[in-house]
Amino acid sequence: LVADRLLPDGDSLRLVAARRRDGWSRPVLLLTALDSVADRVTGLEAGADDYLVKPFAAAELVARVRNLARRPLQAVTAPQLRLGDLELDLPRRRVTRGGVLLSLTAKEHAVLQILMLQAGQVVTRSRLIESCWDELNEPMSNVVDVLIRQLRRRLGAPDPIETVRGVGYRLVDPAVEQ
C-alpha cells in the first residue's frame, strides 16, 4: 500500500493503524510533505514500513517499493471484523450475518470491508471509488449507489448501511441504533 499521509478526507495514519489492527501484513509506504522527525516516527509507529518525504525522485520511490516487495509477508492470524451479527473473515473472504453465510461479489466484499474497517464513521463515495475501482476504469457516477443497493439486498434487514446524503455511507449496528 502506497498512501499519501494527508488525504482529502483525513490522515491516512488512521487507515494504516486500522489495517494493522485487523491483521493487514502487506507493506505500507507513506508519502508526505511532513518531514519532521516526530512526523516520521508517528508514521512508522502507526504501522508504516517506510516513510518517504516529498519532494523525492521517482527512482527513489521505485527502489523503496521494490525493497518492500522483496520482504516476506508475515503469517497473520485470521482477522475477523464484527459489527453486531455481521462478520467478515478477511483471509477466507467469508461474510456471515446472523450465522448465515452470504455470497458477495469481489466489489461488494471490498466495499463492505472498507465500511467495516471504518464502522461508525462516514466513508466518502470518492474513498470507496479510489479503493475499489482502478483509476484506468473510471466508474460511472452511480456505480457506488448501485453497488450499495446490491449489498443492502444481500445483507438483508435490518439495514446496517446508513446513507449520509451528499457525502457517503456509514456502517452501523442496527441493534444499537434502534
Q: What is the pLDDT of residues 124-163, one digit of tens each?
A: 888 888 777 765 455 566 888 899 999 999 999 888 999 9
Class of the CATH-defined domain 80-177: mainly alpha
Q: Model pTM greater than 0.85?
A: no
Does CATH number 2.40.50.140 belong to domain 2-70? Answer: no
Residue spans of the domains in the chain: they are: 2-70, 80-177
Model pLDDT, residue 161: 92
What's the mean pLDDT in 111-127? 88
Q: Write out pLDDT tens, residues 65-81.
A: 998 888 776 544 546 88
Percentage above 90 pLDDT, the chain = 24
pLDDT: which is higher, 67 or 176 = 67
Task: Indicate whether 107 pLDDT > 50.
Answer: yes
Confidence of residue 17 (pLDDT cuts 50, 70, 90): confident
C-beta pairs of 75-81 under 8 Å, 24+ apart in sequence: 75/25, 76/23, 76/24, 76/25, 77/23, 78/23, 79/22, 79/23, 79/24, 81/22, 81/113, 81/116, 81/117, 81/119
What's the mean pLDDT in 43-58? 88
